[in-house]
Copies of this chain bind each other. A is one copy, B any other.
Amino acid sequence: MPRGRAAAAAAFVCLGILRGQAPVPGDGPRYTPEGMLVKPEYREWVFLGSGLGMTYGPAAGGEPRFDNVFVSPSAYRRFVETGRWPDGTVFVLEVRLAESKGSINQGGHYQAGVAAVEVHVKDEKRFPSKWGFFAFPENAATARVIPPGANCYSCHEQHGAVDTTFVQFYPTVSKAAKDKGTYQER
């Protein structure tokens, strides 16, 4: 390849990355040789929304907790374009303790330490229903998939607005799904 063309090709790749047009390498699911999911490095992923004390049944009692939901950047960008989650999408639910009194804060709640991390992965070849759930014990670097009969699968399948995901609670992406016709009222 002539020098000019090689440089132009490299520049094209760089520009694509900078503009967010190219898929982000490395934000898909990673597994150990034994099939355990490696805990994603999600701190810089796209924030979809948060809840405080949300409950799908009778109130659990006790101090409410925050639920922060993040998604892998390449999946977010694809969803905004198409209203669909691509194969390799990774969701992270980060549950955080809530505090009320601290520093100058007098009321309401703010976020404190992480109480739990759960992950929802779309991997069409690996999981019978295309999606797998994982719960990471504290300080665990890997987790085994939760078996398909568990409640999380049936609840997400019955109530998720888009492809077993709770897009109805993520205002950052619900409009894209409605615009693209992939949103189901649930």
Contacts and interface: CB of A to CB of B under 8 A. Distances in A.
Interface of A: 3, 6-7, 10-11, 13-14, 17-18, 20, 25-26, 43-44, 46-47, 49-59, 64, 66, 68, 70, 73, 76, 96, 102-114, 159, 161, 166, 168-172, 186
Given A6-B7, A10-B10, A50 B107 contact: no
Number of identical monomers bound together in the oligomeric complex:
2
Q: 9 smallest A-B Cβ distances: which pairs?
A: A53-B108, A10-B10, A47-B47, A3-B3, A54-B108, A51-B110, A55-B107, A50-B50, A49-B111
A13 B53 CA distance: 44
A59 B96 contact: no
Contacts of A113: 171
Contact of A103 (B46, B59, B110, B169): B169
B20 A17 contact: no
B169 A54 contact: no
Given A43-B46, A43-B172, A46-B43, A161 B107 contact: no
A14 B17 CA distance: 8
Contact of A11 (B10, B17, B46, B57): B10
B10 A18 contact: no
A107 to B, nearest CB: 4
Given A50-B68, A68-B50, A76 B108 contact: no
